[in-house]
Structure 1
Amino acid sequence: MGKAVRRYRGTTAVLAALTITATLSGCGAGAADGVTLKLVAADYGSTDANTSEKYWNDLARAYEKKTPGVKIDVTVLSWKDVDREVAGMVERGEAPDLAQIGAYADYAHEGKLYPVDTLVSVPTQANFLPMLRQAGEVDRVQYGLPFGASTRMLFFNEELFDKAGAAPPADWDGLRTAARKLEAKGVKFPFALPLGSEESQAETMMWLLGGGGGYRDTTGTAYQIDSPANVQTMTWLKEELVGEGLTGPVAPGDLDRQQAFDAFVRGEVGMLNGHPTLMETAEKAGVKVGTVPLPGVNGKAKATLGVADWMMAFKENGHRKEIGEFLDFVYTDKNVLEFSDRYDLLPVTVTASTAMEADPEHAALRPFLEELAGSELYPVGETSWAKVSESVKKNIGRAVAPDGNPRAVLGEIARDARAAEASASAR
């Protein structure tokens, strides 16, 4: 709540003060001569100047210098292409040794990945944040190594709030009240609600958690998409926000996340659900950003959305030892923090998170770090999730349309989820 604290690059002083040391599993001892590890990674950069290719090439050259006889062949692809390209490589029998992409579960279920405990040292595996380590498991075996994390908070434009006499919301009633005041002052998007095809599975999950529900039941064993709590949540959105004209001139089903973020950076949005990268971008554009935990129906939401991308190691080329030693190097604090710093992400390891939290230059990220510990991730360990996510993106916008029926739309998505689960279990 209140003004976001500006932050600057650098964690060297804190690392020195904490005397955090990295555990390298044999990195300096060398490996079999002539081994080349092929790495395919996603590009987190927005321009040629900040492409992830530079990060990976610098890291690869540093590792090669430390480990004679091992070469790292780096390919960096855009997020639009990387998952499809890796899938094609695997299908052709040309799997990379390492892939840093969005999902691992299908490959794990097909027996194509090394279990993490056969790759990295015990200190490296134990250093992953517990909830992220667990999210990387299939049938209680970890196959996905988290790589870059993020979480969400409610962002508000402090200048627009001041002009409207609005207070940062602590629950849905407060959110609606603030949106009404913003709308009365002519704010274009009092609350930006992106339920378009780009990433509406994320926006939807945040609202479902705020209403006491979610995609999965409390045991995490089954989908509960059309539960009474979820129906009530989508009905509230349809009637109390969208129906009152508080979500702006673009129908939520036609509004993609990037459109909403761009509008926030332009100063046209009073409130939206955002992540750390947006905060820095908006502040650079002159927007005074305030943040509060995601509001829920009766106070703070039970959890916020946590997101992680994944590193995985394929068995196909048989370089288990060399892959594991390289991953121990990748997950040292220095490298984790450098990547997190560069792309405004949250570290995925305990020691790097501790260093970032203690660093006053990262004060603005402390609320996100605190929220991450209690966040809820997508059910990425389920092979059914990809199809469920697509169904949400395709259909959820209709639930809040003027002629929409939240119960019916959620029922459609629930049927798709059951079919996806049945298909997965039949494999």
Structure 2
Amino acid sequence: MVKKAFWVTLLVCIWLSFSLIWFTPAAAAFTEEQKLLLQSWRIVNQAYIDATFNHQNWWLMRQEFVKKPLRDRDETYEAIEEMLSRLDDPFTRLLRPDQYRSLQVNTSGELSGVGLQINLDSETKLIEVVSPLAGSPAEAAGIKPKDLILEIDGVSTKTLTLDEAASRMRGQIGTEVSLRVQSDSQVRTVKLVRDRIALNPVYITLDTHTDTPIGYVRLNQFSANAAKEIAHGVSKLEQEGAEAYILDLRNNPGGLLQAGVEIAKMWLEDSTIVYTVNRQGALGSFVSNREILTNEPLIVLVNQGTASASEILAGALQDNDRALLVGQKTFGKGLIQSLFELPDGAGLAVTVAKYETPNHKDINKLGILPDWVVEQEPISFAQIGTEADLQYQKAIELLNDHTAIAKAS
């Protein structure tokens, strides 16, 4: 018995000695730069939507990048960016501290720049316009959805990440930036003067020039205060006597998913708003289960600049027969990103899920087709709601024809 105990003790001692050799301080200790890289690797490892990591061995990639000589923070950022680039997903990206702060401002307050929402096309690798913000220098210059930004101040955008391109277009009010823009086959140089971009996301008015008093609600972006502003605006229009509504989501590039869900709840009663699908294929959903703001008829205006959270809202209203969609096919961004803050103030945007409309339509790269397709050349901010706005005029026509429109039951 004593002998047996001796061998067990001996084996345990041998195991401990090997453990101590394996986990020597030199092997276990990582530099601060390595720790930042490894934390970024872990976030993607746990959250990224594609379990194959673009058909690459993510563990071996960890080993590869942690061995790189990371002598300062810039080299660490470059290593993280190179590691993420292997995923071939422009939406999963490192946000350096200034970029991360800018993104937070973009969804909550105001900024200065030219007022362009942009996207990196995953196939062509070109920077394309999702939409210009209403009243911005970019809109005034006639830049429109699907235009390509080829150069920024003479620098080819093929050499820039999405966030680097956005950062180059931001800047001090009154300063100038030169963009080389391709519209269809036409290429032109546009000089823009940066200005303060107001991010108050909602504009409302009561249109009384029609048979039916119509509440017009334009939503420019799904920022943190969007739901509150929509609720306030619709309540005001109800008090003013609105008997029907137009919700304008044209050139709305999206924003916060939760804001889109909260706004959908204001129009939908006991309905599924959106399904989310994670990398395990598990379905989650957001459901409306509270009192709606109004049950009056509703038309939603959409176009090629209607993207992301805008498409979630438009798809929910269309699939639940709560509204008719009028305009042009939407942009087609059906992926959801989460933001993760890193210890040094940088952040990671990681694609964590895709979404499907209530009827299980996957709209990524496909978009949503309106119930009434009305093609329209780009119009200026000042022309919205006028005779030149053919999509708005079609909405008015449908709302005046009370048999043709969707209304809450």
More strand by share: 2
Of Structure 1 and Structure 2, the greater helix share is in: 1
TM-score normalised to structure 2 length: 0.27
Question: Structure 1 length as normaliser, TM-score?
Answer: 0.26
Give the structure, 1 or 2, with the largest relative contact order (CA under 8 Å, sep 6 or more).
1
**Pair member with larger Rg:** 2
